[in-house]
Amino acid sequence: MAKKQAATESKNEGNGAGSALPLFYSKPLPLDAARHAKLGLKKNFGLGFTDKVNAVPVNMIEMPQICHFYPIAFSPDGNATPVALLGLRDNENLFIGENGEWEDDCYIPAYIRRYPFIFSEMPGNDRLTLCVDMNDNFVDEKSDQKFFEKDGKPSQLAQNALEFCKSYHAAAQQTLEFSKALANSGLLVDRQAEINIGGGKKINFAGFRIVDEQKLAGLADEDFMEWRRRGWLPFLYAHLFSGAQWQRLTRMLRQRIESADAGKKKK
């Protein structure tokens, strides 16, 4: 369900023991020129690491792009984190193929594109530090895409990752303000969907929230103008427009089920 897969951003993402690790990350550590001088990022490791998730967090500024490909929902907690729904069943991403490649011509959420890099706020220090998930599937000493040059300076790869994470972090902070305001607005309602997947079979999808259009239409003028003043209205409408993508997910699930059934018949 979406509520199981929706990871949230925080200033402490990627910190050590005792804190919940963000989605996909198993061992994020600060990049260090001395300890990681020989390490690098494997080439073309693909996006297969996303195949078991049906939702990922998205930043507010992405929502106008996300809405053309994925339904946008909000986590049912007090943060109301916006998420892109990638599948209708637990542990299934419909946009990733068996070859580990994403569906053609689809926007890939920044949360996924950022991996395996991430920012972390170190204990006793307000400065954000670039970390990398020390997963052997993505990082090793044989790669020629090193994190550091021979003189110990960050490589172009590390510099690019740093700039991407800076942009991501700034967008995540804006999103946090937006989503908390939305959570307190009274506009969100709990929803569950009954999806007809053909052959007389249906599945229930629950654990997410959406903006109630009637409540939005009935919003007090002063509250509506405040959302407009903050520049948030386009993102609310992007969420509403994204509802059309439920049909895409249903179609993709039917195709996957039909393909699986055909494969069983051949055996």
The pLDDT assigned to 226 comes to 95
Looking at every residue in the chain, the average pLDDT score rounds to 88
Most confident of 20-24, 124-128, 163-167: 163-167
Say how far apart CA 236 and CA 228 lie, in whole Å.
10
pLDDT given for residue 115 in this prediction: 97
Residue 13: the pLDDT is 43
Report the pLDDT value the prediction gives residue 24, as an integer from 0 to 100: 96
Q: Could you tell me the pLDDT band of residue 200, with boundaries at 50, 70 and 90?
A: confident
Cβ atoms of residues 249 and 94 within 8 Å? yes
What average pLDDT does the segment 119-144 reach? Answer: 85
Q: Read off φ and ψ for residue 248, nearest 5 degrees.
A: -60, -45
Cα radius of gyration (the chain) = 20
By CB atoms closer than 10 A (0-12, 13-18, 19+), residue 255 is exposed
Average pLDDT over residues 212-221: 94
Segment among 12-21, 120-129, 133-142 with least mean pLDDT: 12-21
DSSP-derived pairing of the beta strands 28-30 and 128-133: antiparallel
Distance CA 50, CA 91 (A): 9
Structure tokens at 118: 């991430």
Could you tell me what percent of the chain has a pLDDT over 70? 88
> What is the DSSP-derived secondary structure letter of residue 146?
B
Q: Is the pLDDT of residue 156 over 70?
A: yes
- Report the alpha-carbon distance of residue 171 to residue 255 in Å, rounded: 35
The confidence score (pLDDT) of residue 122 equals 62
Average pLDDT of the residues in 74-89: 94
**Span 10-26, average pLDDT:** 60
pLDDT at 21: 87
pLDDT at 260: 76
Q: Which residues pair with 130 in a beta bridge?
A: 119
More confident residue, 109 or 192: 109
* Cα–Cα distance list, 67 to 55, 64, 87, 236, 242 (Å): 14, 6, 15, 11, 4
Residue 20 banded pLDDT, cuts 50, 70, 90: confident
Count CB-CB contacts under 10 A for residue 127.
Answer: 8
Q: Is the pLDDT of residue 12 over 60?
A: no
pLDDT computed for residue 124 by the predictor: 60
Helix (H) or strand (E) holding 30: strand 28-30
Does the pLDDT value for residue 120 go beyond 90?
A: no
Other beta carbons within 10 Å of 212: 14
Q: How far apart are CA 129 and CA 121, in angstroms?
A: 6
Q: How far is residue 169 from each of residues 132, 190, 239, 248, measured CA to CA in Å?
A: 15, 28, 21, 30
Among positive and negative, which fits the CA dihedral 32, 34, 36, 38?
Answer: positive
Q: What average pLDDT does the segment 151-173 reach?
A: 95
9 pLDDT above the threshold of 60? no
DSSP 3-state assignment of 210?
strand
Instruction: Tally the C-alpha atoms within 13 A of residue 26's C-alpha that lie toward its C-beta.
Output: 7
Q: Would you place residue 45 in the very low, low, confident or very high pLDDT band (cuts 50, 70, 90)? A: confident
pLDDT band, very low/low/confident/very high, at 123 (cuts 50, 70, 90): low
Quick check: 193 pLDDT over 90?
Answer: no
